[in-house]
Structure formats: structure tokens, C-alpha cells
Structure 1
Amino acid sequence: MKPIHDQNRSYWMQTAGLPSFAPLTTDAEADVAVVGGGIAGISTAWELARAGLDVVLLEADRLASGVTGHTTGKVTALHTTVYDTLRTQRGEDAARLYAESQSAALEHVVDVARELGTDCDLERRPALTYCEDPEGVEALRAEAEAARAAGLDASFVTETGLPYPVAGAVRVENQAQFHPLAYLRGVVEDLVERGGRIHEHTRVTEAHGGAPRRLTTATGAGVSARHVVVATHHPVFDHARLATRLTQHRDLVIAGPLPPDQDPQGMYITREGGKRSVRTTPLGDGGRLLIVTGEAFAPGTGEDTEAGYARLRSWAQERFPGFEVSHRWAAQDNSATDGLPVIGRMRAGGGNTYVATGFAGWGMTGGVLAGRLIASLVTETEDPWAALYDPGRAGAVVGSASTFLKAQWDTGRHFVKDRLDTLGRGSNGPVDELRPGEGTVVRAGGGPCAVHRDDQGELHALSAVCTHMGCVVAFNNGERTWECPCHGSRFGIGGEVLQGPALRPLERRDPAELGLDRGPDPALDPDGSPDA
């Protein structure tokens, strides 16, 4: 049997490949350059091409291989308890606009799939936010009332399709779930037919000038465009200092076959127990695939993700007897400190630069909404929701001062403390205690060093200083990655950038020169277990 980390690929990415595109090798010009090939970037490029503009889309890796390829694929306007919060903090009009915009994005997905003839396993299902603890019922009653006042078909219920009792739930009818990559495959193919140019494995490293803006890429080629859209999850060009308004978290995901008669017939989420999200999707044999998400944690904090996967598996097996894991993966999301996505024109760095970020785990509707909203701004078409999501919106930080200050405190604490307390940081201790598959951060060669022992017992060493803003990374033992606690950048064990905002890899170090390469511990078998 293969080690479980070899199976860390999402079900979506295993079952719906997107077309491949060559890197950018010669300079190009366009009306609009879109940076980032997830659902927000692809949707934006498609909307603009459909409006008749010349568009080039640049993706650092493969299309939809980042956050979009690791989503749970819910397309819903019910986002836990957002409506009562919005109504309380920003008023009923803001809650209504949020419901209208998110519902419009949902229906747009349905219309686009129908228009393009895309088979993406799209199903209309209710969405429910629930609690098992009776103490949470009052908050859910308030959310149901606020969601209903905002225009959603919402109600408070105590019975659900889950195979275990709940104390209460907010239920919103006629939401949707789909196969995100199958949906995007149809959009990408139509984008190309409309003249859109796509380049994968083309990391944008710099942006210069005003209009047109000049983008420099790691391939050496560049793009000049009158408009630039930054859809890279966390903005890689942060002229507006959006990093101070964004917090990151990762969720673990497990999936496995479920008999059709056990399908809970809906999309469910609770914040209890480290968050739990449940939905199913059709399998080709007529069965269902149960998808369970939870164990949320901040990246780069040395969280024991293997233990998190074990807790998630135990929870699912207790609630769905006979469940066995066939797939597992993880997703990363960021949230703005005032709870709303950040979509629109950036005030700094040039008036023709646009951003889409801060979807807080609801990027399927948020990404589609971003495509429509940014296209309206570029084409100077009025959009009723632009002010709600504007990156420069009034009160975005002041209205959430405690969240904002906590985010800044956490970043500053990591920046200073992790340099002073490096030895053994992460899930493991000193280098000579590392088993195959483990990693740790130690002080060597005058600075923090990230060290990983592979399955053959060989050591790999990197600088542990994130190339974005200099925080010290930590090891994720479930995914075998290095992660930054400050802004969520992620790196492979070879130092390569897996997820921004970092643009450059971690610097490679020679374990022997650092005095670290002592070879595998002779007391350990190759699989990491002690000799008997």
C-alpha cells in the first residue's frame, strides 16, 4: 500500500483534468491581464472575453490546482451566520445586498453550465448551518430570521437529513453543489474559443507602471496590459497593504464512498468541534462520495495535521458507520477582518489594477461574483454590489478593530518570537530524532533552517525564512509542506512555492555543510518504525 501522503490529491483533481497550456515565452500585449488561474481568475477572464476584450490569463502552476482544486464545491448564499452579523454591524441593506449578490452568483453558475452544456454534477440541494449544542440554538434562530429578512428562502428547523440529531439549524432552499473543475473545464474551453490566451507555469514576479502596466514573469517574458486583475488568493502585489486585513486558515478534507440510501440530501456545516462540513457528490457507479471537512487551523503554526486527519476520520466513522477514507486533501482560505470579500479596484498601485480575495471559505460563489463584478468595473458598467465589496470601503478595518488588531499581533509575534525560539519548532524536535517523513526547524549556519527527512532517510535543508516578508516557516506533517504563519505562503520540501503571496522559493541549504547530515537513525526501519 502506498503511503497516505501519496494520496493527498483531491477527488476533483483526480477526476476532471483541465486542458494544458504552454508557459509564456515571448512578450505579449492585451487589454486585460489576469494573474491567477483559480475560479476567480478564470471567471473574470471569461466574463471579459465575453464582453469583447483581449484577455491573457497567467497561472504560476496548473489551472485550478490551488484553492479551487481543493474546495468542497458548495455553491450557496448561506455562509454559516453571516447575515445576523452583517445586519448587526453594517445594517439590513448590507445583508440584503450580500444575499442578492451571492444568490446571483449561484444562479449564474447554473446558467453558465446550461449555456455551455457542461456536465459538472450540478445538483440543487438545501444548505444548512446547524448546531448540536442547545446553547447555539438562539444564534441560529437569529440567523434564520436575518437571512429571511435579507431575501433568502430561509427557515429554522430541528429535523435534518443527517443520521444524527441536531439541536437546530438554519435551512436555505434551492442552493447548489457541483464538480468545480468539470464546471471550469467548460468555461476554459469557451474562453479559448473566444480568443482568450492562457499560459500555465508562468509566475508573475513584478508589476510596473500605470496604464499600460507591465508584468514581468519568471519565464523572462512580459505582458503589457491596460488593466491587471490580481486573483491569486492572497494578493501577490499588495500595494494597498491588504495583508493587514487578511487572515488565513486551512481545513482538512476526507472523502469516501457512501451508499445512496445514506445520503443526507443536503449541504451541512457547523462551527462546533473545530468546524464540520458535510456534503456528497455522485460517483460514476451510481453511489455517492461523502465529503467531510473540518479541523480548521492557521497555517505555519506547527499543527499536527496527521492527528487532525485522524480526528476527522473518527468523527465521520462515528456519524456514518462503515465509512472509509478513499481521498484526503486540504484547502486554504483567507478572510478579511470585517468578514466581507475584497473585490474591486485597488486604490494604490495604479487605478487599473483590480483584486479578488477574502472569500472566507465561500470561494465558489465569491469567485464567480468577482468575475462579474470586476468585468463590470473594467467595462464601466454599473454594478449594484460594487460598494459592498470595494477594497477601499469605509470602516473595513475600524468596524472590526479587535479582529484587525489580533491579526497584526499574531503576525508581529511570529516575526519576532519564532526567531528567538527556533529549535524544534514545528511538529518534531531535533534533527537527529527525525523519522522518515518528518520535518523540523533548527538554528544552523547562523539562522533558522527547515530540515526534512525523506522516506529514504535522506535529509533536505532549506532556509526557514519565508521569502515574502521574512517570517519563519513551520512543517506540516500531513501534507509534507513548509508553511508561513504570517500570510499563509506554502512551500514544498524542495523549497518551491506552492502557494503565495511568496514569489520566490526558499533557499536550499546543504545539510552536510551545516553539520546536519548524520544519515538516517540506525534505530529506525525505513518506514520510520523502531527496530524490534
Structure 2
Amino acid sequence: MSGQGAPGGSGEPVHESYWMASSESTGFSPLDADLEMDAVVVGGGIAGLCTAWELQRAGLSVALLEADRICSGTTGYTTAKLTALHTLIYAWLREKHGPEDARLYARSHQEALERVDGLCAELGADADLERVPAYTYVESSRRVEEIRAEAEAAREAGLPASFVKETGLPFPVAGAVRVEDQLQFHPRKFLLALARALTGGGGRIFERTRAVALHDGARCRVTTESGATVVARDAVIATHYPVFDHTMLFARLRPRRELVAAAVVPAEHTPPGMYITPEQHTRSVRSAPLPGGGGRLLIVTGEAFEPGAGGVEERYALLSAWIRGRFPEAAIAYRWAAQDNDTSDRLPYVGHFHPGTQHVYVATGFGGWGMSGGVMSGRLLAAHITGGPRPAWTGLYDPRRLPGVREAGPLLRQQAAVVGRFVGDRLHTSHVDSVADIPPGGGAVVRTGGHPCAVHRDAYGAVTAVDARCTHLGCLVHFDDAEQVWECPCHGSRFAPDGKVLHGPATRPLEPREITE
């Protein structure tokens, strides 16, 4: 993962994010002693790093804790679009929240991308920054009026938006919203430059340091897996999905995964811009420069599904077929998956973690738009903590806002689905009759000795068994055959075959189990 460039010529795609494969590795030490700081940030993705940097720049002493390596979770597996055009949000905001909230939403995200542009220049970050238009398009004529309404609402919200029928894609569209002067970039190159600036200014970054407990009070205390603690006046939880259950916020978040395939394409055949359609289980398209002038990398995202739904290889096949059908010269070089959280009212939660806290903050629920959302969060949370002027959109993203009547349906459906999985999965815990039926590279939940066990057989035939109950709230995990991990379908936690936590909200591993074939 240390600075690879263009993919090799093996013919098989690399099962890794291009952003991870084409940037340097990090090696910050774990926290091994108690520490006192002005602020502690839990989570080393774009929201956490931007928040820590903004706080350090304001003169506060800051410690950032990351369970693995910074920029290696959701931020390392994004498509890295930095835009204020978020598919079809503005007509909905105008109708449900009013035109002023739509304007605030647009302004907050547009200012975020300008912030990145300015920081790249200030820090000398070579982050492959490119100014391009962004499009939301449809191919079906039945949705053209929806696109026209979105273009009008986005323009009314203050964006340089227009309705067009020509996009630069190599296939016809029925209509599209076009927003000028948006950004695409290499997220890790930008954030690693930010991390260097943070530590160069006295900030502290600790990797392989999982936070497992939070004490909320006049002085916050974060306890890590090793037992070392950080005491600080303010704490920020920027772990993508909140890892502490001091609030029912997790009940208003719905995790989803999307697949990404990236293909090498001649530069002259790449469409000039960023594109997304809500049709066909979502298709998001952009390109990135490859080192050495070897064409460009076409990055396509789609096939959204809930964690644990299975059939991942089949979904990859559908996405790859779509790429080959629309871009016949494309040679798929990388594939990976991204995970996002959607809120019940389609707006992120950025601010005080819950009504009873004065010193704990959260940033989550970006709904697939975490690049602009993460940068926006850094500035907003820094204003909260330093007591500086708060942006006009502070109330729009306040996590303490009460669910509206319009949220009742989505909330009930989400919780009914969780209950259904919690109960139903216990009645049908296995897709095989015995451990012996699990093929190499496969996994299944089987009941043995009265307990559900998550059993994985590696490529060499060795079997590993762990408790199948997610350590977050006890839902049964499912096996992802493409990525060889266990996934919780309720709240999106992910575990390695040996039970190690890969993705929260779970903070404890799945316990090992003895099993015989």
C-alpha cells in the first residue's frame, strides 16, 4: 500500500481501493500512556482529521485516536467527489424544509469544497485536484420533470445549476442537472498532508488505538482498548457510525454498502465531469489521472445493498458488465466497497451528541457525501468547541433535532427490519447442514451446542469459529463472500474471520468458539 502507481498487467483487478494503493502508508504509534489535552477526536477519517486540524489551528491541544490507520476506513474507500450536488436533494429540501434550509445546505457544502481548494494551496498538497462540472442524470424520459425540478431548486439554493440534455457521457440521457465548478481529488493525498500539518503544529495522532469507553462530564475521559485514557474538556466522535451508545442516535441511521470498480481508460475516452443517476441501483461515474500519463482511471460506483445481504460477487458482476457495456475499452483494474450511513431525514448529524451533553460532539450520517460533509463538520464542530461564530447552518445539522412526522415511516421501517433480523436470523441460522459443507473461502452461521457460531473455512481448508452475535447489540452476523468478512445487517459492524473488529459501531471482537466438523 505504499505508493503504488498504475495497476500491473496481471489481468485480474486488484481487490483494493485505488486511493489506498496509490498513496503512502502511515505509521503513527499507539497510545500507551494516559494523556491530558484540550480536545480528543475519535476517528481518523475526513471528518475527524478536519476537526482535529481546525481545533489545533485555533490554538487547542488535540489528540486524534484511530482504531486502525488514518484515512483507511470509509474515507479510504470513497469515490472522492467533492460537490454540493447530492443526487436529488434540493427539490426535496425545498418541499420538506423550505427554501432557506435548501440554501443553507448548498452553501455549507459549497464552502467545504472551497475550503479544500484553499488548503491544498496553503499546504502544498498535490492531491490531483481538478475542477469539473457535476451532473445528476436520468435515462428514462419519465423522470425528466423530476430532473427539471431539481435543477430549478438547486439554482434557487444558490448553486450554478442548469438543466441540460448533453453531458459528455458516451450514451444519451433524457435530462440532467449540471452544476459548474465542482471538485474531484485524491482524498488520501489531501488528508495525509493535513495530518502532517496537524502533527507539525503540535497535534497528536495515535493509530491502532481503539476507543472502547467514553465518560461524559465537565472533563471527558476516553478509555482505549489498552487501558490508556485521554482526558479532555471536549470529545468528538467521528467514527462514521457512533461507537458509543449514550444516545439512540444509532436508531436513526441506516447503513448501506456500495461496490466500486475502477477501470483504465484512454484519457480521450473519459467523460469530463462527475456523474450520478438514481436509476439502476445507482451509478456514479468519475475519472482520476493516472501517474505517468497512462490514461485515466474510470471509477464507477453502484449496486447499493444492506450489509449482510449477500450476493456480493453477483453484484460485482452486474457493475462490471455495466462498465463494459458503456465503456467497451475499459480494463477493470481495481475493485472495492464503500459503506455509508443514511439518516431518517436525509440530513447529517453534526453537533452535540445528545441533549444532555455540553462537551461531547458527533459527526455522522453523510449519506454518501462524506467528502464535503466531513470538511463541513470540521469547521462546524471547531466553532462549537472554541466558542467562535457558528455558521448559519448549525441548526440544520443539530443531532438533537426531534424526528418530524415525515420521519415516522422510515424510522418504523428501519426498526422493524432490525427486529426482523434479530428474531428471524435466530430461527434460520445456517445455509448449510454442517460445518463440513462450508467450502474453502466460505462462511456460514451454524448452531452447535445450542449457540450460533460464525464459521469460516480459509482457502487451505482450516476452520475458524467465533460467536455469531455482534458485540454491538447482538444481531447475528452474515458472511461477505467477496471481502471475506463477517457483517452485521442491523447496524453495519464488520469483523475479520477471527472476530477482530474492522468497522464499528462494535468495539469488542467476536469471541472465539471451539467447534468440530
For normalisation by structure 1, the TM-score amounts to 0.93
The separation in 2 between residues aligned to 1:4 and 1:482, in whole angstroms, is 28
Question: Do 1:245 and 1:337's aligned partners in 2 also have CA atoms closer than 8 Å?
Answer: yes
The separation in 2 between residues aligned to 1:143 and 1:36, in whole angstroms, is 34
**Residue of 366, 381, 398 corresponding to 2:373:** 366
Corresponding position of 2:476: 472
Corresponding position of 1:498: 502
RMSD of equivalent CA atoms = 1.6
Corresponding position of 1:321: 328
Residue 26 in 1 paired to residue 33 in 2? yes
The separation in 2 between residues aligned to 1:429 and 1:305, in whole angstroms, is 22
Amino acid at match of 2:210: R
Provide the secondary structure at the position in 2 that maps to 1:148: helix
Amino acid at match of 1:444: T
Give the superposition deviation at 1:238. 2.8
Matches within 5 A, 1:431-510: 431-510=435-514
Q: Compared with structure 1, are the counterparts of its residues 506 and 349 closer, same or farther at alpha carbon in structure 2 (3 Å cutoff)?
A: farther
Provide the secondary structure at the position in 2 that maps to 1:78: coil
Give the superposition deviation at 1:433. 2.7
Provide the secondary structure at the position in 2 that maps to 1:417: helix
Amino acid at match of 2:502: L
Q: Compared with structure 1, are the counterparts of its residues 5 and 397 closer, same or farther at alpha carbon in structure 2 (3 Å cutoff)?
A: farther
Provide the secondary structure at the position in 2 that maps to 1:136: helix
Give the superposition deviation at 1:285. 2.1
Q: Compared with structure 1, are the counterparts of its residues 28 and 349 closer, same or farther at alpha carbon in structure 2 (3 Å cutoff)?
A: farther
Q: What CA deviation, in whole Å up to 9, does each residue of 1:211-250 have, x standing for no partner?
A: 2111110112111000000000000113221111100100
Provide the secondary structure at the position in 1 that maps to 2:27: coil
Question: Do 1:32 and 1:227's aligned partners in 2 also have CA atoms closer than 8 Å?
Answer: yes
Q: Compared with structure 1, are the counterparts of its residues 58 and 3 closer, same or farther at alpha carbon in structure 2 (3 Å cutoff)?
A: farther
Provide the secondary structure at the position in 1 that maps to 2:380: helix
Q: Compared with structure 1, are the counterparts of its residues 242 and 5 closer, same or farther at alpha carbon in structure 2 (3 Å cutoff)?
A: farther
> How many residues of Structure 1 are paired with residues of Structure 2 in the alignment?
508
Residue 71 in 1 paired to residue 78 in 2? yes
Give the superposition deviation at 1:420. 1.4
Deviates more, 1:249-258 or 1:346-355: 346-355
Amino acid at match of 1:256: A
Give the superposition deviation at 1:350. 2.8
Amino acid at match of 2:487: E
Deviates more, 1:355-364 or 1:13-22: 13-22
Q: Compared with structure 1, are the counterparts of its residues 4 and 331 closer, same or farther at alpha carbon in structure 2 (3 Å cutoff)?
A: farther
Corresponding position of 1:170: 177
Corresponding position of 1:228: 235
Give the superposition deviation at 1:6. 9.2
Give the superposition deviation at 1:387. 0.4
Give the superposition deviation at 1:397. 4.4
Give the superposition deviation at 1:349. 5.7
Corresponding position of 1:138: 145
Provide the secondary structure at the position in 2 that maps to 1:478: coil
Question: Do 1:207 and 1:216's aligned partners in 2 also have CA atoms closer than 8 Å?
Answer: yes
Give the superposition deviation at 1:22. 0.3
The separation in 2 between residues aligned to 1:371 and 1:423, in whole angstroms, is 44
Matches within 5 A, 1:264-303: 264-286=271-293, 287-301=295-309, 303=310
Amino acid at match of 2:77: H
The separation in 1 between residues aligned to 2:137 and 2:13, in whole angstroms, is 34
- Displaced runs of 4 or more, over 4 A: 1-6
**Residue of 117, 133, 141 corresponding to 1:110:** 117
Give the superposition deviation at 1:263. 1.2
Residue 124 in 1 paired to residue 96 in 2? no
Question: Do 1:430 and 1:440's aligned partners in 2 also have CA atoms closer than 8 Å?
Answer: no
Give the superposition deviation at 1:5. 10
Matches within 5 A, 1:370-385: 370-383=377-390, 384-385=392-393
The separation in 2 between residues aligned to 1:97 and 1:349, in whole angstroms, is 26
Q: Compared with structure 1, are the counterparts of its residues 457 and 2 closer, same or farther at alpha carbon in structure 2 (3 Å cutoff)?
A: farther
Amino acid at match of 1:369: M
Question: Do 1:240 and 1:348's aligned partners in 2 also have CA atoms closer than 8 Å?
Answer: no
Matches within 5 A, 1:357-436: 357-383=364-390, 384-394=392-402, 396-424=403-431, 430-436=434-440
Question: Do 1:210 and 1:349's aligned partners in 2 also have CA atoms closer than 8 Å?
Answer: no
Provide the secondary structure at the position in 2 that maps to 1:229: strand
Give the superposition deviation at 1:374. 0.0
Provide the secondary structure at the position in 1 that maps to 2:272: coil
Amino acid at match of 1:445: G
Q: Compared with structure 1, are the counterparts of its residues 202 and 5 closer, same or farther at alpha carbon in structure 2 (3 Å cutoff)?
A: farther
Which stretches in structure 2 are left out of the alignment for 5+ residues?
1-7
Q: What CA deviation, in whole Å up to 9, does each residue of 1:485-527 have, x standing for no partner?
A: 1100000111100000000011111222xxx2xxxxxxxxxxx
Question: Do 1:33 and 1:223's aligned partners in 2 also have CA atoms closer than 8 Å?
Answer: yes
Question: Do 1:245 and 1:404's aligned partners in 2 also have CA atoms closer than 8 Å?
Answer: yes
Corresponding position of 2:64: 57
Q: Compared with structure 1, are the counterparts of its residues 5 and 244 closer, same or farther at alpha carbon in structure 2 (3 Å cutoff)?
A: farther
Q: Compared with structure 1, are the counterparts of its residues 30 and 405 closer, same or farther at alpha carbon in structure 2 (3 Å cutoff)?
A: same
Q: Compared with structure 1, are the counterparts of its residues 63 and 5 closer, same or farther at alpha carbon in structure 2 (3 Å cutoff)?
A: farther
The separation in 1 between residues aligned to 2:448 and 2:274, in whole angstroms, is 48
For normalisation by structure 2, the TM-score amounts to 0.96
Give the superposition deviation at 1:2. 12
Residue 205 in 1 paired to residue 207 in 2? no
Amino acid at match of 2:146: A
